[in-house]
A and B are shown apart, each in its own frame.
Chain A
Amino acid sequence: EAQVTQNPRYLITVTGKKLTVTCSQNMNHEYMSWYRQDPGLGLRQIYYSMNVEVTDKGDVPEGYKVSRKEKRNFPLILESPSPNQTSLYFCASSTIAGTSNSPLHFGNGTRLTVT
């Protein structure tokens, strides 16, 4: 089954404790992206990657890191989480062209709480 898998689904942590949210896709997609979703602000892009070893900042990259060492994986790293990073995070993937046969596919989300 074609899917984007994020782990964990729920995470509660404390300020300053490094964490990683994993994302993996099995569709051989070149393009992968991380979004955060906040009430009243909608979905905002954090980072994206157009292929292995190619990453770029989205609209809200501060406080986050990513890596793309393999095509299928795109982990999101919070080196020193802060309470304002409490949010619902989504990973997504697609082919580069995003054609009608390959729209953007989303994972089920990771709800992060930083206390």
Chain B
Amino acid sequence: KQEVTQIPAALSVPEGENLVLNCSFTDSAIYNLQWFRQDPGKGLTSLLLIQSSQREQTSGRLNASLDKSSGRSTLYIAASQPGDSATYLCAVRGQAGTALIFGKGTTLSVSS
């Protein structure tokens, strides 16, 4: 059964730092991997989706990479800002149309 792990559970950094959030999964046979952001009491906002055939995706200051063989993905945030403070969730999908399996998230706090 697929398991998704995100370490650390919480991270605090000063404004301006570049940082990396980690996601690992136990079954490398994935269809795609998605990174989400969740603000307190709110829904999830999709940040980046990487298909299994891709190695990375970029959107603005965010870059997500995928290494299927090692079961790892990273979310790189450049020049962090206080507005980046949120919980970041990683999720993998085994086959098209099947359930996304979520990690428990990394709660990021960026101080000004």
* Chain B binds chain A: yes
Question: Interface residues, chain A, CB within 8 Å of chain B?
Answer: 30-31, 33, 35, 40-45, 48, 50, 58-59, 90, 92, 96-100, 103-109, 111
Contact B96 A98 (CB under 8 A): yes
Q: How far is the CA of A87 from the CA of B78 in the complex (A)?
A: 34
Closest to B51 in A: A100
Q: A42-B102, A43-B89, A48-B99 are in contact. Are A98 and B46 (CB under 8 A)?
A: no
Contact A98 B97 (CB under 8 A): yes
Q: Which residues of B contact A111 (CB under 8 A)?
A: 41
What are 20 inter-chain pairs, A to B, with CB distance below 8 A? Answer: A31-B97, A33-B100, A42-B102, A42-B103, A42-B104, A42-B105, A48-B99, A92-B44, A96-B97, A98-B31, A98-B32, A98-B49, A98-B93, A99-B49, A100-B50, A106-B36, A106-B44, A106-B45, A109-B41, A111-B41
| B61 at the A interface (CB under 8 A) | no
Contact A97 B100 (CB under 8 A): no
Q: Which residues of B contact A107 (CB under 8 A)?
A: 43
Contact A105 B46 (CB under 8 A): yes
* 17 new A-B contacts at CB < 8 Å, known A42-B104, A100-B54, A104-B91: A42-B89, A43-B91, A43-B102, A45-B99, A50-B97, A98-B31, A98-B34, A98-B96, A99-B51, A100-B32, A100-B50, A103-B46, A103-B49, A104-B100, A106-B45, A107-B43, A108-B43
User: In the assembled complex, how far is the CB of residue A101 from the closest CB belonging to chain B, in whole angstroms?
Assistant: 9
Contact B104 A33 (CB under 8 A): no
Q: How far is the CA of A97 from the CA of B54 in the complex (A)?
A: 15
